[in-house]
Structure 1
Amino acid sequence: MLESPSLLMLPSLPASHPFSPLVASGKWLRVDGDKWNLHGVSYGPFRPREDGASFPAPERLAADFQQIRRLGFNTVRLYDLPTEDVLEGAEAEGLRLLVGIPWTDHVDFMHDGALRQQIEQTITDAARRFRDVPCVAGFLVGNEIEKNLARWMEPGRVRRFLEGLIEIGRREAPAKLFSYATYPSTEYLVPSNVDFLAVNLYLEHPAALESYLQRLQNLAGDKPLVITEFGLDVAAHGEQAQAETRAWFHRLCHRNAVAGTVWFSFTDEWFRGGDDITRWSFGLVTTDRQERAACHLDLSPGPLVDNPPRISVVVCTWNGGATLADCLSSLQKLRYPNFEVLLIDDGSTQDIAAIAHRFPSVLYVRQDHAGLSVARNRGASLATGEIVAYTDDDCIADEDWLTHLATGFDDPQWVAAGGPNIPPRPRNRTEAVVAAAPGAPAHVLLNDIEAEHLPGCNLAIRKRALEAIGGFQAQYVAAGDDVDVCWRLQQAGGKLRFVPGAMVWHHRRYSIQAYFRQQAGYGRAEALLMKDHPERFGALGGARWIGGIYGDRAVAPPLDEGSIYHGPQGEGLFQGIYRQGLRCWLDWTGGVIWVALVLGALVAQCPSTAAVVIALSWLQAAYRQRLLTHPPFSLGTSESLLLLGLCWIQPVVREWKRLVGMVQLGARPAGSHANPPPNPVVRRPSKVSIPLLELCFWNEVGVGRTQWLDAMRRHLAQKNIPIREDQGWRLFDLEAVPHHIISPAFLTVTEYHGERQRLTRIKLLMRIQWRLIFGVTALLGLVGLLAHPHPLLADLATLSILGLSTFIWALRQRFKRMILDAAKLIGLEVKS
């Protein structure tokens, strides 16, 4: 087991609880139901003491924590497990601790099963030890796995391992928060089961930070965003620049709904890699604890909007009495100075008026039942605000919903704005499954800021812009009205803005039957939309979105080759996920297609074919379930199977209603898109990589992968072997004879082992075109069918396989020799 002195020597502490639990709630952190901003500073790591603890002496530590509290911080981020002195000091000063659990993350841990077990045991022991310590708010199960190492180990495997560490920790300490601290060079390493998105970030310009915060909010999805490191080097920029940077950093984080920040660092005293770090000075205080100018700032959050516009909140209801009172109650708690609430009763048979009368400030208006669009237009006509904000009767508004919405209208180009709609914690198991199921209202983004579609449950529109397009169209009686109005606003030249902080809680359906009724209604609405916007739909009836769909899509899609821009040879500073189109050929077996194929096979009396199609449709459903956003609550085995069933049936219900509506309305998709989406940045790879061998090389004078790649380029050039360099999308560095059906490629990584010691790993890959794999598979299948009547075919197939194997073996030996020759030229020593 990996041993930590502080973990082994720390005695048990009494289970007192002076701190209320910190919880993640939508886009925010909360304590006892109230929003709580994590205002933290990093502490350490320090030169180890004689007892092995990586913290200052007890007297110094106590004085440091007093100073940290006096400077206004409420949280301390640690990079080592806390000692008894740390815990006592934190509890004495009322400071919460965000504990990093250190483990061996600078080597290829995915290659070593024993090391992975040690890491898992380290997480287990740390979570178990501190689970009842009240000042420990949460854990970071890792910190900044180096970008090339993550690329080498394959990003998908690394992410799954981190997800496993979080599950291990959560089993031991279920009341604590868990995350992994990533950074821009590996922003794709976001475990789907984190409680909050933790990012270490250093940007020196306000505009760059604000833009990147918007991207990070979209990566965070429905979870809080916490910046777990941000700072400025005084040695390079000066003390005044540090103070100015800290001021605009906090201002922009407040404006962009960041739930917490950690300033790096408290002191210049910093020990890493066996040495005291003296060339950088990131501390708010010097090594001898003299305070810099950045300590003496007024960081109290100012108003998000200087001149708040009047906003009219419109709630439309039709027999929504079960949730309406909670909705109206939340609107009474809005912290916004200039708004009104209008409740439009669309001819309900329930006594909605009785509920409305419990809220005297709400203007209640009843109309004959005419549908959602008519009700929304009625609300807009009565609104006295310049902005009309719509939400549904099954939504609960965050107390700062309107405040953040108002920031979305700081420029006249924005005619509408909206934020995320997040399911609250379910009240029963069925509701939990429905909340995790596909088909929920989702926003569609053209980029990190501009939206193509905003759901009507969280949609604010300038009143004059809504009037200019004639309001909502009456034929949309239950759904589709928000899509139609967003498209028409854009056609009129307006832009839609996504505001991550403007969140509402949105109840999903309470039963399976209600869920399918909702999906059927969406299908019918899609047919209506096709009638009005045929250019927006494809040949099979699906909507042609230009942007990416967020909400019921995965926050963390599969990290296969071609999905991530790593930069040439994996050296990009900002390495992000780029969403593409169809991810799996099984997508073609979803919806009504598989039903039609099964019926056709049964009519043709081919039950085996029908069985194969059904099996493929279940595989497609399982793949779709895997891509769903990870729910903020656990599902048991029976609930997971039910969710799989919903993923299987939901496309059928929705598509069938759409097809029926198309026939009834005479709706047909147009032949071409009026605004076709841009060409994808990168195509999926046409080859698959198979590892042939891996070699390791040691060097103690700083020679690593960069020098080896240069030597290999020269070596291949001398032999007139053409090469292709990775341009940032592939999981190799160099590929030889790239235009051949079978080609060798090389992937490298260098591990840093202190001072100038380097371990360089080099992997030889065989890249084979998919068409060859499919062709060989089909040929072998055909040979298998014909082998009995024609045994000569089996012999020929065996000889072909032997010939191919001999070719691959020869290829391996040839390029192994090249790897060794290039390594010898630059002084790399083979390590067994």
Structure 2
Amino acid sequence: MRRERFEVRHIDLADADNDSEADRGPALTIFWWRDLPLGARASLGDELPYGTSQLRQLAAEYAAAQLQARSIGLGAPLRATYEGQPKPALLLETALEAQNLVEVLDAIAAPSSTSAQNISVVVCTRDRGPALSKCLGSLATQSCTPGEVVVVDNSPAGNAREICRQFPEFRYVHEPHAGLSRARNTGVQTSRFDIIAFTDDDVEAHPGWTSEIARAFVERDVEAFTGLVLPARLDTAAQCSFQFTIGGFGSTFVPLTFDGRFFEETRPSGAHVWKIGAGANMAFRRSVFERIGLFDERLGAGAAGCSEDSELWYRLLAVGGACLYEPRAVVFHHHRRDWSGLRRQIKAYMKGHVAALVTQYDKFGDRGNIVRIGKQLPVYFAKAFVKALFEGPPGRLGILAAEIQGWLAGLQFLLRFGWRRRRPPMGIAVTAEKGIMR
């Protein structure tokens, strides 16, 4: 999609007979059935608006996908494969045979009534005042109020304190030592409830976010959870590039279970745990941290770069755990608006990814992590260069250069033997509550 701006549009197929409100510009359309996200489609102006018959066909296709993914009688739950996508359980015609489309989707989309009072929501922030205010505003208007919201301010000066005063029902914790993993660990240690959910300060949560997390932990006996991350806006070329060229934070709209089979299937090439989800929308039972330890403070923003979330998922799967991806729980992410910010982000992502592969190899001895660093990533860079050279899109070479720079920066961790001997902090004993403002 070689356009500098896409409108992010939302269509509720339960109410829409046609798409007469659409303008003629490029758009990413998110399709819903009430509060259930069904799918997304990017379209150019001459492909819009969608007609009534086209919308009905989309509703039928999405209904079949949801039915096969959520009906135990039809093979659910779907387990993730090597590509991180579900294997089709049946044909569309079979899925919808003797089924009423509206009744099927209404039943699946029924809102959760599960209490979220056993959930601690942790938001880690550093010098993003306006974005944090929007994030906290979305958490203050959840349909099911969580047990608590803990804001961990990772700026040395405590710059988020004044913003948090606007939300007196939330808890403020100052963690002056830099690092997202350090901040998240502080959130875990100071939180009080059994389920700990994380989101970032550059997202806004859907009103049903906490209730859907609560429902997932009640209905499915899971230890870890991730949800759907949708773009909030695509107003700039950099935002569009992150969403369409890099792939955003994924686009799967059916639930998936990432378990031991997925881990073993992808292990020879460095288990593909980054496909499980994003740290901007994840949750864990407290027992996970008691069993496998906290976030590795060598990783994450403010340290190696990122991948502190995927490294924790790696540890969980390696010891026999599993993680549920449930797209009912939705947050909207504000992508980087400018090219320089996007390139810095991509460089940090790749640097952190390599660092996580090194730590995973050191802990479990899985050579697939080293194979990915030394073989698979260089092959990916070569293929991406050839494709970008002949096909574009604009800006792809700059992003690729940032990825290669991040990879080169990450190679240093192979030689930092003191760094490699450090281990993630174990246990979740509550620390002294200095810096906490209620």
TM-score by length of 1: 0.38
- The SS at the match of 2:246 is coil
Alignment of 1:68-147 (within 5 A): 74=15, 97-98=17-18
Aligned partners of 1:175 and 1:246: how far apart in 2? 19
Alignment of 1:291-306 (within 5 A): 301=110, 304-306=112-114
Task: Tell me if structure 2 keeps the 8 A contact 1:181–1:200.
Answer: no
The aligned amino acid for 1:521 is: A
Tell me how far 1:413 sits from its aligned partner: 4.2
Larger Rg: 1
Tell me how far 1:650 sits from its aligned partner: 3.7
Alignment of 1:601-620 (within 5 A): 618-620=385-387
Task: Tell me if structure 2 keeps the 8 A contact 1:418–1:460.
Answer: yes
Tell me how far 1:325 sits from its aligned partner: 0.8
Structure 2: gaps (5+ residues): 1-7, 24-28, 30-40, 87-91, 260-272, 421-438
The aligned amino acid for 2:373 is: G
Tell me how far 1:214 sits from its aligned partner: 9.5
Query: For the structure 1 residues 421 and 339, does the alpha-carbon distance in structure 2 shift closer, same or farther, using more than 3 Å as the test?
Result: same
Check if 1:468 corresponds to 2:291: yes
Alignment of 1:497-512 (within 5 A): 497-512=324-339
The aligned amino acid for 1:528 is: A
Aligned partners of 2:64 and 2:277: how far apart in 1? 29
Structure 1: gaps (5+ residues): 1-22, 30-35, 40-73, 75-95, 100-126, 133-137, 139-162, 183-193, 221-226, 234-241, 255-300, 545-586, 595-615, 626-639, 669-832
Aligned position for 1:641 = 394
Check if 1:537 corresponds to 2:341: no
Aligned position for 2:308 = 481
Query: For the structure 1 residues 464 and 175, does the alpha-carbon distance in structure 2 shift closer, same or farther, using more than 3 Å as the test?
Result: same
Check if 1:330 corresponds to 2:138: yes
- The SS at the match of 2:143 is coil
Tell me how far 1:542 sits from its aligned partner: 6.5
Query: For the structure 1 residues 312 and 177, does the alpha-carbon distance in structure 2 shift closer, same or farther, using more than 3 Å as the test?
Result: farther
- The SS at the match of 1:420 is strand
Task: Tell me if structure 2 keeps the 8 A contact 1:528–1:665.
Answer: no
Task: Tell me if structure 2 keeps the 8 A contact 1:318–1:346.
Answer: yes
Task: Tell me if structure 1 keeps the 8 A contact 2:116–2:147.
Answer: no
The structure 2 residue matched to 1:253, chosen from 82, 88, 108, is 108
Aligned partners of 2:181 and 2:300: how far apart in 1? 6
Aligned position for 1:658 = 410
TM-score by length of 2: 0.68
Aligned partners of 1:351 and 1:497: how far apart in 2? 35
Aligned partners of 2:63 and 2:159: how far apart in 1? 52
Check if 1:207 corresponds to 2:72: yes
Q: Deviations over 1:609-641 (max 9, x none)?
A: xxxxxxx7642336896xxxxxxxxxxxxxx42
Tell me how far 1:373 sits from its aligned partner: 1.3
The aligned amino acid for 1:660 is: Q
Query: For the structure 1 residues 219 and 661, does the alpha-carbon distance in structure 2 shift closer, same or farther, using more than 3 Å as the test?
Result: closer
Aligned partners of 1:386 and 1:410: how far apart in 2? 12
Task: Tell me if structure 1 keeps the 8 A contact 2:150–2:173.
Answer: yes
Aligned position for 2:188 = 380
Query: For the structure 1 residues 393 and 463, does the alpha-carbon distance in structure 2 shift closer, same or farther, using more than 3 Å as the test?
Result: same
Aligned position for 2:320 = 493
The aligned amino acid for 1:473 is: D
Alignment of 1:680-695 (within 5 A): none
Aligned position for 2:263 = none
The structure 1 residue matched to 2:150, chosen from 337, 342, 346, is 342
Query: For the structure 1 residues 181 and 650, does the alpha-carbon distance in structure 2 shift closer, same or farther, using more than 3 Å as the test?
Result: farther
The structure 2 residue matched to 1:454, chosen from 243, 259, 277, is 277
The aligned amino acid for 1:97 is: D
Query: For the structure 1 residues 656 and 442, does the alpha-carbon distance in structure 2 shift closer, same or farther, using more than 3 Å as the test?
Result: farther
Alignment of 1:221-620 (within 5 A): 249-250=104-105, 252-254=107-109, 301=110, 304-306=112-114, 308=116, 310-349=118-157, 351-410=159-218, 413-438=221-246, 440-441=248-249, 448-450=256-258, 452=273, 453-478=276-301, 479-534=306-361, 535=366, 536-541=368-373, 590-591=380-381, 618-620=385-387
Percent identity, aligned pairs only, is 23
- The SS at the match of 1:524 is helix
Aligned partners of 2:224 and 2:236: how far apart in 1? 35
Aligned position for 2:46 = 171
Tell me how far 1:472 sits from its aligned partner: 1.4
Aligned position for 2:429 = none
Q: Deviations over 1:12-55 (max 9, x none)?
A: xxxxxxxxxxx843xxx3xxxxxx5x44xxxxxxxxxxxxxxxx
Aligned partners of 1:247 and 1:472: how far apart in 2? 43
- The SS at the match of 1:419 is strand
Check if 1:621 corresponds to 2:374: no
The aligned amino acid for 2:170 is: V
Task: Tell me if structure 1 keeps the 8 A contact 2:238–2:342.
Answer: no
The aligned amino acid for 2:210 is: L
Aligned partners of 2:318 and 2:401: how far apart in 1? 35
Aligned partners of 1:654 and 1:396: how far apart in 2? 28
Aligned partners of 1:326 and 1:444: how far apart in 2? 26
Backbone CA RMSD of aligned residues: 4.4
Task: Tell me if structure 2 keeps the 8 A contact 1:590–1:621.
Answer: no
Q: Deviations over 1:111-136 (max 9, x none)?
A: xxxxxxxxxxxxxxxx9xx989xxxx
Aligned partners of 2:310 and 2:251: how far apart in 1? 10
